Structure 1
Amino acid sequence: MELSSVVVQTTPFDGQKPGTSGLRKKVKVFMEKHYTENFVQSIFNALGDKVKGSTLVVGGDGRYFSKQATNIIIRIASANGVGKLIIGHLGILSTPAVSCIIRRRNVLGGIVMTASHNPGGIQHDFGIKYNIENGGPAPDSVTDAIYEHTKIITEYKTTPALETDRLIDVLGSTTYKVDGRDFVVEVIDPTIDYVGLMKEIFNFPKLRDLIRGTEKRPQFHVLIDSMNGVTGVYVRRIFVEELGASPDHNVRRIVPLDNFGEIHPDPNLTYAKDLVDTVKANLQYNLGAAFDGDGDRNMIIGKDAFFVTPSDSLAVLANNLDCIPYFQKHGVHGFARSMPTAAAVDRVAEKLGKEMFEVPTGWKYFGNLMDAGRLSLCGEESFGTGSDHLREKDGIWAVLAWLSVIEHKNMSVEDILKEHWKIYGRNYFTRYDYEECDSDAANLMMHHLGQLLASKDIVGKSFASSGKSYTVRKADNFSYEDPIDNSVTKNQGVRILFEDGSRLIYRLSGTGSSGATIRVYIDSYEKENILADAQDMLKPLVEIGLQISQLKKFTGREAPTVIT
């Protein structure tokens, strides 16, 4: 059947500016007439002639509105001259899997339907982002171009007669004739490429022996929680089918739901409390892990729910990469962290003689360093860890890496951390999130902090609380010059740096869909006192941070929504 595309007249929508990882809004915004179509067409407009005859990957975390958005993308792609779409079965692809498929199949890029760790369902959030040919999130130059097109768009192209409702329900390829051209839709098993890559990186037989136990080694009990997100299909395939974990006792919430079962799919101590409580109540579990909605974030806890901060997780993995076959083969070229992330990995880099990079928040900033061969492992304090095997953070990879370290060292999670702190000292770290604040109030607070920086009076000033005193060594708004392409990214967060190495950082998050999220990061390094309670150790600095920012005065908030 010969199909013809049509041109639909439209007008721009305000505010279609991609944030840190794409465009995120409430589902009902994306459901407005022409809204999703405008943004998808703007992606193709920004790509220009490259899209003609190209192959793109499409998939997402399965949240509400994913199927409708997939249908829109298929029709618009066909009308814009795309040659082929590779789509996960039922529209399911984790964000790391999208990156994997782009890289392994050498395609132009991918469109990812996700709002990551944000809640799902008709009352909550949806998102769309574009990943480029290296598999990573689009850089600022591309997202800025997409945004400019959203402001001037007057029409979009689509193929309305292309029947898509059941297309993604069946594995296999379908070829259509659209405007005289072949247009192919290939629906794939979402796990094949990704699992193949994981088996190249890790020693699966050793990990299976760890989880199942051997005559010489007792079973290592894990509890893996997909939080009703996209990783469920990968957890079943890897942990149950490949590594022999019990589907009844070692994994939970592995069926992806479009509303995530009405939970917040964010793997932290607040939103993954159910996992934490289960591991704490059942001492047979040696490790617990949780993932977010699209599978790029992870949380690690040990026996009795011993919590591993993302900053410490990054540092421990950096110190033990030699036990993973991938790094034995490819070597270790450098480490990086986002600016707000505690500096624990910096000390590992120094000891091992590796390059160390501090970048703005957003995984896209690691991509250039990886592509240039200068970065092997990186992470963010927001529960993201990954390596140069992909250009996205990767939750399942992080858990497999931790299991590899545990198998190699034959130690518990807690003992591995204590050994690490004894060698390197400990960065006590916490993050206070104030979600859905009034945007004007949040901006006023950041303006207040900007005025403090401009006055320069804060440098050299001392602040005291709970018997501890801190003197400001430096205060700035973080900027970053990419050492590969020399691009400059400014205004990435207000930093208050103290003489003892402690830090306060204030940022407005770019990952929410409404209002403003204020994040306050508190980081303090201790060389000797490494086994104290983190919240007790950080309490004075927390109080000083609230005093400096006057957060309560500006926002009216008595307490954070989430403490990490």
Structure 2
Amino acid sequence: MNDRAGTPAHESDLIDVHELVAAYYKLVPDVSKPEQKVVFGTSGHRGSSLDAAFNETHIAAITQAIVEYRTGQGITGPLFVGRDTHGLSRPAETTALEVLTANGVRVLVDEYDDYVPTPALSHAIIAYNRAGHDDQADGIVITPSHNPPRDGGFKYNPPHGGPADSDATGWIANRANEIIAAGSHDVKRAEPTEVETYDFRGHYVDDLENIIDVEAIRRAGVRIGADPLGGASVHYWQLIGEKYGLDLTVVNPLVDPQWGFMTLDWDGKIRMDPSSPSAMASVLTHRDDFDVLTGNDADADRHGIVTPDGGLMNPNHYLAVAIQYLYTHRPQWRDDAAIGKTLVSSTMIDRVAESLGRRLWEVPVGFKWFVPGLIDGSVAFGGEESAGASFLRKDGTAWTTDKDGILLALLASEIIAVTGKTPSQLYSELTAQFGDPVYERVDAPASKEQKARLGKLNGSAITAETLAGHPITAKLSEAPGNGAAVGGVKVVTDVAWFAARPSGTEDVYKIYAESFEGPEHLTLVQAEAKAIVDAALGG
């Protein structure tokens, strides 16, 4: 934890936006260097122009690759394009539009030149493809999510509306690097004149009454404070309050690509993570002013829930409450609709699922795994421990197939309106019934070679028989829900578990751990987890 974590940013912490944008156009990446190549992680290509990792050359090549990919897939409908409030998002949007226009792609951008949250773009794709057109739509959302202000991000969402799978992103990244290495001669560009518009905000907000009981919220007079954290949801919250007559205050309507109003995250960086107590420190000063206070990150795919009685909720705690509430208050959902969770999310969700008589669908990290289930209704809720989730409409049909932080934030108000209790109170009731787990994620040093071995590690390579005094019941390198590779390992006992995964950006691996036997036992689990993993990696 950095000494300045949770304190206001200083002038010296802020980026020079002009320098950032100038570098976007000036620096030309060398894709023979790994750090300057196009690499799609779980949420698209991310990097900074200052590091020659997110530059005009990258975006032009990625967009050309997407054009070629969608042609190969027979995707001929409109392509929705949206951007968030990061300083590199507008330049990247301009580049992408030039390439799309030159290639004859029908493009739809925001009608009001507004920022577009990731869930609003997913919602638009699904709405178009549900309407029975002869063609199919897809989309590009330009965002590095909660990453620091110096970063840019570029993500492709195919016709299912959610994050593209690794087959698609792998092809797009390889083709983009190939284009750049050959001098970008295959990139077509033209002035973006033939661009249509779409009211992302209006369509999204108008449809909210079909997934959230906004009338219950209005009748109960729930006092809502919404902080967009300088992100793309800022005008959405304003319209939600106006349209549905809610007692809703946008706590901070300021948009600033430097994010100078933020408090620093745990490591001393500016990071718009609504689940981080350090990043949310200034928001928390308003906790007693509202019945519920919410935060979103820059593209509004993550949520933070603050209650007067509980403060900022741990994302795992809120997911468990949301699941308990939704599966008992959505009578039109299928009786066999499963509960989706990533395998590094809390075991509290497992216990809630069992009490509800619902099937648990446990998948690797990455929201893309929930997409098929959300589309066909076989999974009614999908959630990640990193404060990302989405769920089905009241009628059991798909809403978004990407994470929706606005939706999960509004759900907290519905829960208060309908139950008369805060999500924090409801979580206390769950702990009284199922136990009170302690959860934490820590990092451990690892070389690039060790990270590569960890990513391919098989559970059978772990020789330990016990973990923190309890017999090991499972050593997983594949997710129980879909058999997909975890990209690491998960070790389970009856009262605790840990999972280890390599970081995609730093020379560390992440240890997620949870214990139902208290903080001291969790510390023991973490220590043994590191020893177990290090032994499996050869020290």
Give the structure-2-normalised TM-score: 0.80
Choose the corresponding residue for 2:351, options 344, 347, 368.
347
- Could you tell me how far 1:78 is from its partner in structure 2? 1.3
Q: Provide, for residues 142-175 of structure 1, a one-character-per-residue CA deviation record: whole Å limited to 9, x for no partner.
A: 1121123124324334343x2x5xxxxxxxxxxx
Residue aligning to 2:13: none
Q: Percent identity?
A: 24
**How many Å separate the matches in 1 of 2:401 and 2:484?**
19
Residue aligning to 1:168: none
Kept in 1, the 8 Å contact 2:128–2:137? The answer is no
Matches within 5 A, 1:172-187: 176=193, 183=194, 185-187=195-197
- Could you tell me how far 1:390 is from its partner in structure 2? 0.9
Change over 3 Å in CA distance of 1:423–1:239 after alignment to 2: farther
Choose the corresponding residue for 2:169, options 143, 150, 153.
143
**How many Å separate the matches in 2 of 1:42 and 1:448?**
31
Change over 3 Å in CA distance of 1:331–1:452 after alignment to 2: closer
Unaligned runs of 5+ in 1: 1-9, 165-175, 177-182, 214-219, 464-468, 483-487, 527-533, 556-564
Residue aligning to 1:359: 363
Residue aligning to 1:410: 420
Matches within 5 A, 1:453-472: 455-458=461-464, 460-461=465-466, 463=468, 469-472=469-472
**How many Å separate the matches in 1 of 2:71 and 2:79?**
14
- Could you tell me how far 1:314 is from its partner in structure 2? 2.0
Q: Provide, for residues 176-231 of structure 1, a one-character-per-residue CA deviation record: whole Å limited to 9, x for no partner.
A: 5xxxxxx4x22344411110221221222221233xx3xxxxxx443322111111
Residue aligning to 1:179: none
> Do residues 244 (structure 1) and 246 (structure 2) align?
yes
- Which one has a larger percent strand, Structure 1 or Structure 2? 1
Residue aligning to 1:507: 501
Matches within 5 A, 1:124-523: 124-153=150-179, 154=182, 155-160=185-190, 162=191, 176=193, 183=194, 185-210=195-220, 213=221, 220-239=222-241, 242-245=244-247, 247=249, 251-261=250-260, 263-275=270-282, 277-279=284-286, 283-321=288-326, 327-331=330-334, 333-388=337-392, 389-433=399-443, 441=447, 443-444=449-450, 447=453, 455-458=461-464, 460-461=465-466, 463=468, 469-479=469-479, 482=482, 489-498=484-493, 500-510=494-504, 514-516=505-507, 518-523=509-514
**How many Å separate the matches in 2 of 1:92 and 1:207?**
26
**How many Å separate the matches in 2 of 1:341 and 1:30?**
31
Unaligned runs of 5+ in 2: 1-28, 130-135, 263-269, 393-398
SS in 2 for 1:137: coil
> Do residues 54 (structure 1) and 64 (structure 2) align?
no
**How many Å separate the matches in 2 of 1:443 and 1:243?**
56
**How many Å separate the matches in 1 of 2:43 and 2:475?**
27
**How many Å separate the matches in 2 of 1:12 and 1:51?**
29
SS in 2 for 1:119: coil
Residue aligning to 1:529: none
SS in 2 for 1:267: coil
SS in 1 for 2:161: coil
SS in 2 for 1:90: coil
**How many Å separate the matches in 2 of 1:554 and 1:271?**
36
Letter in 1 for 2:391: S
Change over 3 Å in CA distance of 1:462–1:63 after alignment to 2: closer
SS in 2 for 1:290: strand
SS in 1 for 2:110: strand
Count of residues paired in the alignment: 481
Structure of higher CA gyration radius: 1
Change over 3 Å in CA distance of 1:24–1:91 after alignment to 2: farther
**How many Å separate the matches in 2 of 1:442 and 1:148?**
21
SS in 2 for 1:431: strand
SS in 1 for 2:216: helix
Kept in 2, the 8 Å contact 1:89–1:190? The answer is no
Change over 3 Å in CA distance of 1:108–1:117 after alignment to 2: same
Instruction: Tell me which moved more, 445-454 or 95-104.
Output: 445-454
Kept in 1, the 8 Å contact 2:122–2:402? The answer is yes
Kept in 2, the 8 Å contact 1:129–1:137? The answer is yes
SS in 2 for 1:128: strand
Kept in 2, the 8 Å contact 1:99–1:131? The answer is yes
- Could you tell me how far 1:540 is from its partner in structure 2? 3.0
Give the structure-1-normalised TM-score: 0.77
Residue aligning to 2:144: 115
Kept in 1, the 8 Å contact 2:217–2:246? The answer is no
Q: Provide, for residues 257-313 of structure 1, a one-character-per-residue CA deviation record: whole Å limited to 9, x for no partner.
A: 32333631011234434246414xx63443222111110111213214434322222
Kept in 1, the 8 Å contact 2:460–2:475? The answer is no
Residue aligning to 2:266: none
Change over 3 Å in CA distance of 1:38–1:275 after alignment to 2: same
**How many Å separate the matches in 2 of 1:448 and 1:79?**
43
Q: Provide, for residues 482-513 of structure 1, a one-character-per-residue CA deviation record: whole Å limited to 9, x for no partner.
A: 4xxxxx63242222223x33101111244xxx
Kept in 1, the 8 Å contact 2:233–2:299? The answer is yes
**How many Å separate the matches in 2 of 1:361 and 1:452?**
17
**How many Å separate the matches in 1 of 2:214 and 2:56?**
48
Residue aligning to 2:524: 540
Change over 3 Å in CA distance of 1:299–1:33 after alignment to 2: closer
**How many Å separate the matches in 2 of 1:291 and 1:462?**
37
Letter in 2 for 1:474: A
**How many Å separate the matches in 1 of 2:516 and 2:384?**
18
